[in-house]
Structure 1
Amino acid sequence: MAGGECGGDRLLERLGREERTATGKAPPVLMRQYAVYRLSGSPWPVLVLQSDHIRRMDTVVVAPLIASSEQVFPVGRLHPRFVVGAREFVLAVQMLSPVRKSELGEEIADLTDHFADISNALDMLFHGF
């Protein structure tokens, strides 16, 4: 720049050198589809249903995994069962909901291998087959 003025990139360079305090928690921007997370304030873990390609929103669509001993309305394809840890859960896909990414806690399982069962439950919910 003329006259010895600092360019915008130099300003960014200086800003990048400032000391910052770590918050202790990684930003919740990398929520993975079919990953199971603890949800703050909920007794049940949740399964992320939203595509990984939708990242700019601060919410993500999830459905709860309810302990099979508590689930009284299983309907075949609509409510697939999964083992997470040592417990069996039922996907309550009819209870899907958006939650703020910041409400998601620790990732506790990955159900990517069960893509077909999850997809069938969503088809059953939205299309009836």
Structure 2
Amino acid sequence: MPQLRWNDIDFLDFFAVEPTVEDFGVSYNYELERDGLRLLFTLWQFESVIQASLFRGTAEPALFTFAAYVRGEARFINDERGRYMDFEDCIVAPSRFWYVYAGDPFDQQRFPISATIRLAIDPDIRIGFVNYESRT
């Protein structure tokens, strides 16, 4: 799998919290809380995978969780349109290991339709799918 195209300084600026980094930089975990909701955002840079889980406070299990294979890049946007992260050309999946059953998500012939995922955290946590693309 290709490596994620991202900038760790942009993520630090965006999340404004130090990530918990797994040994050898395998994964970066960012956790924050807004208005009673807690976001756990993880990225696996060597697999080009992100995962977002949203919780109500400290309650378990998560209200929802999804993973995405980022075939494009992760971009921090901070301009007149707002302050958010865009993850371009994503294949959304229920878990990080979904590809074991579904096949290679980076194969654009097999998975020709993708989405851009937009994450905003100020003033509230907002996750949206803002652009769908077909590569056929």
Decide: shared fold, TM above 0.5.
Answer: no
**Comparing both structures, which one devotes a greater share of its residues to strand?**
2
Please give the TM-score of this superposition, normalised by the length of structure 1: 0.29
Would you tell me which structure has more helix in proportion to its own residues? 1
Which is bigger in relative contact order (C-alpha 8 A, separation at least 6)? 1
The higher radius of gyration belongs to 1
Q: TM-score, normalised on structure 2? A: 0.28
